[in-house]
Structure 1
Amino acid sequence: MFFLLILLGLIAGVMAGFFGVGGGLLFTPILFFLFTSMGVESAVSWTIASSLFCTFTASLSSSIQQKNHKNSFWREGIVIGLLGSLGVYVGKTIVTSEYYTEDVFVSFFVILLLFVALLFYRRSKSNVTLQVKAEMPGLSKQFIAGGFGGLVSSLAGVGGGVVLVPMLNLAYRLSIAKAVSISSMAIVLISLSGWLQFALVQNAPAGITEFTLGFVDFGTSLPLVIGAFIGGFYGVKLNKRASASRVQLGFSILVIAIAFSMIWKLL
């Protein structure tokens, strides 16, 4: 199991590095298939909580790299990340309720995947240059971005960057480099808040391994993280050899394939 998880993490890391996305979109399906296949009670909560832990470690590395490349907007990222923790609390309350079933979770996650696929596809075909703004929007708009990002994060087990980057870039007209930097820092706090809130849930059922806290199964998450860190370096190298449009189109195809595989899992 340990070496299998490292291998799966390695594959996820290569794809995440190649396509330039956070690992949450890949960690969540892997963990969902694992927890459901093992017959774990409350598999959705285990999936989301453990994926958020994986995403936290990956986003921390990404944020450090942004700082090393002198593209760090940590103040804006911290504000949005802290506001995002409120959205995480709302999402965690929904996830741990009896109404957030596997069917609801898969439906929400598939819709999210199709949104991301469409976004990447349109980006691969678009040559439009946005008129960007230098200043960050006011606190009310930061609250909307952070709160929505945190809510999506806790409902799907992702970092929230899939909604934060488009909002900051397309809606708030920040440059894509600044949007990615702010999102990277915000995701650190959002995912940290997410897995901690799930870890503090009392009377969680048994996970797959003995190394659990609340709904976070560290025994399954850590091998994935180890593999993802190694694979990420190779993915970035492969990315430099491919054209941006082909990478974005390829990611759209990958995401659609993941969406159909999750739907098939429930049939």
Structure 2
Amino acid sequence: MIGTGYLIVLVLTGLLVGTLSGMLGVGGGFLMVPIQLWLYSSTGLPEDLALRLALGTSLAVIIPTAASGAIGHHRKGAVVWRAGFLLGVSGAFGAVAGGLLATHLPAEPVEIFFGLIVLAAGIRTIATRGSERWDVPKIPDRRYLIWGVPVGVVSGLAGIGGGVLLIPVLTSVFRFEMHRAVATSTVVMICAATGGVLTYLIGGLGIPGLPEWTIGYIDPLQAFIIAATSIPAAQAGSVIAHRIPSRVLRIGFLLLTGYIGLRMIGVFSWAGITP
């Protein structure tokens, strides 16, 4: 049974994740994973199982949250559907590979990998000016397909939608305007997260030590509670995104990824700080 304090944490997490997903084009896994890891660990679940459950459940929440954000951005005419579909298809296959790796690796290296990826993505986004043009550059289909694979692998391995890696790719490699990148990222995350969820669900079946209410490495109850608040919040986030300048979006992306990345690789712990 979920206690009141536990429930409040999940609800607040959903509100924050949904808002950031719609506003910055990220799945919110970089927030959900450490929070869920802390919650599961607090119940006495072994670290390896807690991390994999947090990764799988995070991806399950990202699917409806990203879909909600995509709808909001589509209403603004910002989604580049061709790019989102091609990146998403190859990203789904990459997510399967990443999910398989994560279910067989120990927790610590996955956490460090997760933190480094988030840090690198944030720095890359703020360091690249990107385009301010609303029109979409002409990109061959194969380039989208090629770049979708590593985005998917990171999504499955780190339990994120892939937005923290995809936003820098869309802005610096494909030269998308920031609002376009944010909007298109939400579409890709739906596909990548779906591939990851299937892998965590199947890979966790029959594993001893998991809570009885889970399905593989997916916690349906926790996913439902977070998604129930993140879905409407993503709509609000997509509205906010189109009311602020690209530069502000970039700075917000950097601050969030910087904090979470440093937290996951243990910098705050080394400094004696417990976030």
> What TM-score bracket applies, with the shorter chain setting the length?
0.7 to 0.9
Q: Using the aligned pairs only, state the percent identity.
A: 25
Which of 30, 33, 36 is the aligned partner of 2:35?
30
Distance 1:209 1:69, change over 3 A: farther
Alignment partner of 1:200: what SS?
helix
Alignment partner of 2:226: what SS?
helix
What amino acid sits opposite 2:160 in the alignment?
Answer: V
Unaligned runs of 5+ in 1: none
Alignment partner of 2:64: what SS?
helix
**CA–CA distance in structure 1, aligned partners of residues 103 and 58 of structure 2:** 15
**How much has 1:15 moved relative to structure 2?**
4.5
What amino acid sits opposite 1:46 in the alignment?
Answer: L
**CA–CA distance in structure 2, aligned partners of residues 70 and 246 of structure 1:** 20
Question: Which residue matches 1:213?
Answer: 215
Q: Is 1:101 matched up with 2:103?
A: no
What amino acid sits opposite 2:141 in the alignment?
Answer: G
Alignment of 1:105-144 (within 5 A): 105-122=110-127, 126=129, 134-139=137-142, 141-144=143-146
**How much has 1:247 moved relative to structure 2?**
5.0
Superposed CA offset, 1:103-146 (max 9, x none): 101111110121133134335xx48758976323232x223211
Question: Which residue matches 1:62?
Answer: 69
Distance 1:33 1:217, change over 3 A: same
Superposed CA offset, 1:43-80 (max 9, x none): 22111111111111111112222332233433442232
Question: Which residue matches 1:8?
Answer: 13
**CA–CA distance in structure 1, aligned partners of residues 249 and 80 of structure 2:** 26
Alignment of 1:185-224 (within 5 A): 185-201=187-203, 202-208=205-211, 210=213, 212-224=214-226
What amino acid sits opposite 1:59 in the alignment?
Answer: A
Q: Is 1:84 matched up with 2:91?
A: yes
Using the size of structure 1 for normalisation, the TM-score is 0.82
**CA–CA distance in structure 1, aligned partners of residues 76 and 239 of structure 2:** 17
Distance 1:39 1:222, change over 3 A: same
**How much has 1:17 moved relative to structure 2?**
4.8
Superposed CA offset, 1:206-244 (max 9, x none): 44562x211111111211122323444555676677665
Using the size of structure 2 for normalisation, the TM-score is 0.80
- In 2, are the aligned partners of 1:103 and 1:266 still within 8 Å (CA)? no
Question: Which residue matches 2:164?
Answer: 162
**CA–CA distance in structure 2, aligned partners of residues 74 and 245 of structure 1:** 24
Alignment partner of 1:145: what SS?
helix
**CA–CA distance in structure 2, aligned partners of residues 117 and 20 of structure 1:** 13
- In 2, are the aligned partners of 1:38 and 1:208 still within 8 Å (CA)? no
